[in-house]
Structure 1
C-alpha cells in the first residue's frame, strides 16, 4: 500500500543559534518568544552543587515513574503529551509534592528564571503565569531521563503539534499560534553522547500529516531527516538550553551516567500573557 510518508523532501528552515558561557538573559528569552532566535545554549548556566543535589533528589524521589505513553523514559512530574486537560492538570496536582522535593530547600535555577522573567515581563505590562484550568494548575518543571535504546535516546520530534492539538479545555492551545519555547536545565549528563540535536526543519501542518504525526509531532524518521542539516549541542552538567520547540529535535544515544533534564515550556498566549507548563 502506498503511503504519504516521505513523498516530499522537508523544507530547510533557517536557524539562529547562540552558544555562550555565563548567566541566562531575560532579553534573550523574550527574543526567543518573538521567534527572533532559534536556540540558546548557555554553558555553565547554573551551580554544579545545586545540579548534584537535584540529581540526588531525582534518584531517591518517591514520585519517580516510568513513562507509559510510548516515549521511553523515567520522570518526576507531569506531561501534557497525549492527555486531555482534566488528566494533565490532575496529574500535575498529584505530582506537585514530588516536584517540590526535587528542589527541596535549594535556591534553584528554574524558579530563579521564572521569577526573573516574570519581573521583566511585568515591566512591559505582560503577565507570566502557570497554565491552569478548573482541574488545577501546571507545575514549574518536570524531571526526565530519556531511555530510548535505538538510534536515539529520544526520537526526533517537534513540540508544536501536541500544543496545537491540545484542545479547547487547555489555555495553552493559543500558544501554538506563536513560538513554543522548550526550556531545559541539565543537572546531570552522560559520560558519552546524549547531545541535544536540532534539525533545520520547522514542520508545517501538511508535513506532520504526511509523516502521520499530526497530533503528536513524534517521531520523525531518520529517512525523512537524512538530508536536513542539524546542530548538536554538546552538554555538560550545569548547562541550560532553550530551543524553539517548533523545530525538530531529539537526543542522541548515550552511555554512562544518568542524563537528567529539567524541562518546561512557555510562550505567548496573547500579547499581554505568557503561559508556562510542562
Structure 2
C-alpha cells in the first residue's frame, strides 16, 4: 500500500518495552546516560527548573540583541543551527552568536549548567567526558534557545535527528560519528501556554525511506499519513520540565497555542569515551 505516491516507511521498530518515557520529579544524570547508551528511550524530569529561573531566562531570550526570526518558519531563536548547511557556515554563525547564547543561559540555577555539570560527573564515572563538538579548533554552538508558535496539526513537523548528522557538506565534523551510537535530543522548557505535546513514533527510518522522500541528509519532514498505524505516544510538556530522548525516532510537536520556548541541543557519543553536544 502507498500513500500519496510514497511507499510505506521502512526502518527499525523497537520492542515496546523500550519505547516508553520514564518520568521523574528530580533530575538524575544516570537516566540521561542510559538514553545516551541506548538502554532507555527517553525520560522527562518534571518541574526541575525554578519558576524564577524560567522567567529570567525567558526575559533574556526575548530581549537578546541576537534574537532572530527563522526564515520560512514561525519561530524565534538565539543561537545557530547546523541543520542543512555547510559546516563552515554553521561554525561561523556560532562564533558570532556564542556569547549572546551564554548571556541568555547564565542565570541563577541555570538548567543548562546543572544538566551539563551533573551529566559530566556521571560520565566521568563511566570513563567518558562531555564537551561541545569541535572541528579544526572551532566549537559547536552551546545551545539553541527557540520559541515555536506555528499553527496547524504540528507546530514542528515529524522529523528525526540522525539524517542531518550525515550531510556531506559537513564532512570532518565529529558529529558525523555520532550515528554509530545514539543521537539524542535535549529540551528544557521555560515557557509554554497550551498544547505542544511531544509526539513520538516507534520507527527509526532507514536510508531507503529517506531517499524516497528526498530527505536523506535532513530528516525533515515525514508526511503524517505515512506514520498512520505506527505505534505512537504523546508527552505533555510544561514549563520547568527537562527531557531527553532518542532522536533517531521520528518525532514532532503537536498543535501549540502561544509560544513554546525551550533551551535545546543534540548530543551523543562520538567515540566510546567522548560525548559531544551541538545544535
Provide the TM-score with structure 1 as the length reference. Answer: 0.92
Runs of 4+ aligned residues of structure 1 deviating over 6 Å after TM superposition are none
- Structure 1, residues 80-111: CA drift from partner, whole Å, max 9, x if none? 10122211111111111211121244230111
Question: Are 1:10 and 1:225, in contact at CA under 8 Å, matched by a contact in 2?
Answer: no
Look up the match of 1:62: 65
Which of 34, 37, 42 lines up with 1:34 in the alignment?
37
Look up the match of 2:233: 231
- Structure 1, residues 104-131: CA drift from partner, whole Å, max 9, x if none? 4423011111111112222332121111
| Whole-Å separation in 1 of the counterparts to 2:40 and 2:100 | 33
Question: Are 1:10 and 1:228, in contact at CA under 8 Å, matched by a contact in 2?
Answer: no
Look up the match of 1:46: 49
| Whole-Å separation in 2 of the counterparts to 1:3 and 1:200 | 19
- Give the Å deviation of 1:212: 2.0
| Whole-Å separation in 2 of the counterparts to 1:94 and 1:204 | 35
**Unpaired segments ≥5 residues, structure 1:** none
Look up the match of 1:8: 8
| Whole-Å separation in 1 of the counterparts to 2:186 and 2:5 | 30
Look up the match of 1:201: 203
Question: Are 1:184 and 1:241, in contact at CA under 8 Å, matched by a contact in 2?
Answer: yes
Trace 1:114-153 onto structure 2 (pairs within 5 A).
Answer: 114-134=116-136, 136-153=138-155
- Give the Å deviation of 1:164: 2.3
| Whole-Å separation in 1 of the counterparts to 2:110 and 2:14 | 35
- Give the Å deviation of 1:44: 1.0
- Structure 1, residues 125-178: CA drift from partner, whole Å, max 9, x if none? 212111112362123211111233232110000011001225323111000111
| Whole-Å separation in 2 of the counterparts to 1:141 and 1:105 | 14
| Whole-Å separation in 2 of the counterparts to 1:144 and 1:40 | 21
Judging changes above 3 Å, is the alpha-carbon distance between structure 1 residues 238 and 3 closer, same or farther for their aligned structure 2 residues?
A: closer
For 2:245, what is the secondary structure of its paired residue? strand
Q: Report the count of equivalent residues.
A: 274
| Whole-Å separation in 1 of the counterparts to 2:229 and 2:106 | 45
Stretch of structure 1 that moved more, 88-97 or 138-147: 138-147
Question: Are 1:128 and 1:274, in contact at CA under 8 Å, matched by a contact in 2?
Answer: yes
Provide the TM-score with structure 2 as the length reference. Answer: 0.92
Look up the match of 1:110: 112
Question: Are 1:61 and 1:98, in contact at CA under 8 Å, matched by a contact in 2?
Answer: yes
For 2:103, what is the secondary structure of its paired residue? helix
Look up the match of 1:265: 266
| Whole-Å separation in 2 of the counterparts to 1:265 and 1:40 | 15
- Give the Å deviation of 1:20: 2.1
Question: Are 2:9 and 2:209, in contact at CA under 8 Å, matched by a contact in 1?
Answer: no
Determine whether 1:244 maps to 2:251. Answer: no
Question: Are 2:185 and 2:267, in contact at CA under 8 Å, matched by a contact in 1?
Answer: yes
Question: Are 2:199 and 2:234, in contact at CA under 8 Å, matched by a contact in 1?
Answer: yes
- Give the Å deviation of 1:72: 3.8
| Whole-Å separation in 2 of the counterparts to 1:269 and 1:5 | 37
Which of 161, 172, 176 lines up with 2:175 in the alignment?
172
